[in-house]
Amino acid sequence: MSTHRIEVTVNGTSQVTEVDARQLLVFYLREDLHLTGTKVGCDTSSCGACTVLLNGEAVKSCTVLAAQADGREITTIEGIAAGGRLHPLQQAFREHHALQCGYCTPGMVMALLSLLREQPDATDQDVRRGLEGNLCRCTGYTAIVAAARSAAASGAAAAGPGNGGADR
């Protein structure tokens, strides 16, 4: 078994780890770092439950090898709230009842966080298009779109990971 030494920053904390050359990023986060908010939903990259930010861009962590993350910054759902305060996007999900079982929610939030940074004035159609790679089996997308639009209106795009909106 071939291993690689990787140095990554995960949710603001530097990590140096030996990983199996074939280990997926989702399993590195869940099993090695115990960051279980990133979910394994389908093992085929269809559902988006494993979405994290890699250098600020939304990626499905089941399609990235942990070794490919070497030298990069990773943000998981655990890294966007701070000081006991939800990130504005998380708060909007709560206020708009945009979740049911919650399994898909971390991936949706991370995908939307990336989208809203690129398009702070995203329309309903933009939000729906931005969520095409994320599946929810429990609820419709109406409340999710409403939460995203509400968060955008409140400046969620300006609230970076880990500050719970403290910059605003």
Q: What is the pLDDT of residues 74-83, one digit of tens each?
A: 999 999 998 8
Query: Under the phi-then-psi rule, with left for phi > 0, alpha for psi from -120 to 50, and beta for the rest, what region is 55?
Result: left
Mean pLDDT of the residues in the chain: 92
Q: Report helix angle 142-153 to 105-118, nearest 10.
A: 40
| Domain co-membership, 18 together with 47 | yes
DSSP category for residue 68:
G
**Does any domain span residue 19?**
yes
**What is the spatial distance between Cα 78 and Cα 106, in angstroms, rounded to a whole number?**
9
| Domain co-membership, 146 together with 122 | yes
Q: What is the pLDDT of residues 110-145, one digit of tens each?
A: 999 999 999 999 999 999 999 999 998 887 789 999
**Does any domain span residue 25?**
yes
pLDDT at residue 167 tops 70 = no
Specify the amino acid at residue 168. Answer: R
| Domain co-membership, 34 together with 65 | yes
| Domain co-membership, 74 together with 92 | no
pLDDT of the residue at 163: 55
pLDDT of the residue at 164: 55
| Domain co-membership, 10 together with 61 | yes
**What is the spatial distance between Cα 162 and Cα 143, in angstroms, rounded to a whole number?**
24
* Global pTM exceeds 0.95: no
Q: What is the pLDDT of residues 18-46, one digit of tens each?
A: 999 999 999 999 999 999 999 998 878 89
**Does any domain span residue 164?**
no
From 79, 113, 131, the end of a domain falls on 79
From 23, 53, 79, the end of a domain falls on 79
**Does any domain span residue 165?**
no
**What is the spatial distance between Cα 45 and Cα 112, in angstroms, rounded to a whole number?**
17
From 52, 79, 106, the end of a domain falls on 79
pLDDT of the residue at 44: 85
| Structural domain span for residue 120 | 88-158
